[in-house]
Amino acid sequence: MNTKILLEEKDMPRKWYNIQADLASPLPPPLNPVTGQPAGPPDLSFFPMNLLEQEMTAERWIDIPDPVLEKLLIWRPTPLYRAVRLEKFLETPAHIYFKHEGMSPAGSHKPNTAVPQAYYNKIAGTKRLTTETGAGQWGAALAFACSQFGLELKVYMVRVSYNQKPYRRMMMETWGASCVPSPSPDTAAGRGFLAENPEHAGSLGIAISEAVEDAMESKDTKYSLGSVLNHVLMHQTVVGLEAQAQMAKAGEYPDVVIACVGGGSNFAGMTFPFVRDKMNGKSIRIIACEPTSCPTLTKGPYVYDFGDTVGKTPLMAMHSLGHAFMPAPIHAGGLRYHGMAPLVSKVLQDGLIEAKAFTQTQTFTAGVTFARTEGFIPAPETNHAIACMIDEAKRAKEEGKEKVILMNWSGHGLVDLASYDAFLSGNLEDIVLQDDEVQRLMKDLDKFPKP
């Protein structure tokens, strides 16, 4: 039995899969918050037109340009591992597989969309990009991609993560980007939050507001987003498409597919090709794993809401905790977002996926178990998927069933070791967002249309 299932470079996907082509009903459009009408290119002028075309298309397969393929081949295809040591430790009859997306230069799945976004901006004439980042995975990935295509980049990094994860900032700077803590004094949005609280911990929503404001007010500058949007999720489907080919090579098909979920990019990238299989009759469970402190899918209603805190973006139909939600400073900074990708929200609404929430200690316990069996140290975000994977393997043992479990190992934790230190020292706090707080936050959304 091979524990690594590998593809050759010639076997890497040459097209991205767009799930919009296969939805039972169309995705509700983004709305202009003033007119309530569907948003058009003028409302999204901080993106280049070629990416807006990808955002709106219902074409099933989109060709990956050769210059993008050339960069993706630096690390793709990524290996699929059979977690035989974890299986033995758990004494489970389940066959556990994980797709290792920590192989990229930035150490996560994020370059899968950073590279095409940098390329499409470059050919559109963009000179400079702005973006936000939580834990720093996206900022590092886009810094890498911009260095490959000769673009300037400014990253607004959520302040709590900026302080917790200094090595990610150093990665960005090594690739030539500038990185500031958000809220920052560099934008009107940032200055407003700092006036309220000079030590504001920040949030992804605030950082998005700053990056969008910067892009709208700076010459030759566009904004780039690492999750949530349709084209971002589509770029990530190289993960699931490779995994399908690798599972076929292993002679198995998953009963359960699992990934962590914050804005939705790594989850969609792994699962959307399998969601298509499910829509075509395959019997498969697909599970999104999120924090109990930011339970967007498990507690957030399906509403129209802003993608940012200040209200600079169009309204999007999504599961949301409300754009005013300020998440707790957990170490899984990439999962601290008030909203969810409209496409992930839609497939949950359609009953094609399910969602589960986990506490910090549950996830780090799982991550340490994984590291002590399989060797790789996972990112705090990835630990949410591992916690669910271990639960499913234990369930297979209780049921006496030889289930096949596939998980997206979305990134390594080698620059997140301060969070492991906090866990191993007993200093992690479990935070559960209460239902009454969600209801309070929803009152701000009553004035918006309903999906």
Number of C-beta neighbours around residue 401 at 10 A: 12
Between CA 48 and CA 124 the distance in angstroms is 7
- Reduced to 3 states (helix: H, G, I; strand: E, B; else coil), residue 316 is strand
How confident is the model over 260-317, as pLDDT tens digits? 999 999 999 999 999 999 999 999 999 999 999 999 999 999 999 998 888 888 999 9
Average pLDDT over residues 82-106: 98
Q: Which CATH architecture has domain 16-64+110-230?
A: 3-Layer(aba) Sandwich (3.40)
329 vs 52 pLDDT, higher one: 52
What CA–CA distance (Å, rounded) separates 331 from 168? 13
Return the pLDDT at 283. 97
pLDDT at 156: 97
What CATH code is assigned to 76-107+236-445? 3.40.50.1100
- Of 337, 351, 251, 258, which Cα lies nearest the Cα of 300? 337
pLDDT above 80: residue 54: yes
Strands 404-409 and 256-260: parallel
| Prediction pTM value | 0.96
Average pLDDT, stretch 180-193? 96
Smallest CA-to-CA distance from 162 within 213, 124, 210, 220 is with: 210
Over the stretch 321-332, which tens digit does the pLDDT of each residue have?
A: 999 888 777 666
Residue 315: the pLDDT is 95
Is residue 334 within 8 Å of residue 291, measured between CB atoms? Answer: no
pLDDT tier at 344, thresholds 50, 70, 90:
very high
The answer to whether domain 16-64+110-230 and domain 76-107+236-445 are alike in fold is yes
Per the listing, tokens 């673009």 go with 151
pLDDT tens digits, 7-50: 999 999 999 999 999 999 999 999 999 999 999 888 899 999 99
Instruction: Give the per-residue pLDDT at 420.
Output: 95
- Residue-range domain boundaries for the chain: 16-64+110-230, 76-107+236-445
Rounded distance between C-alpha atoms, residue 388 and residue 290, angstroms: 10
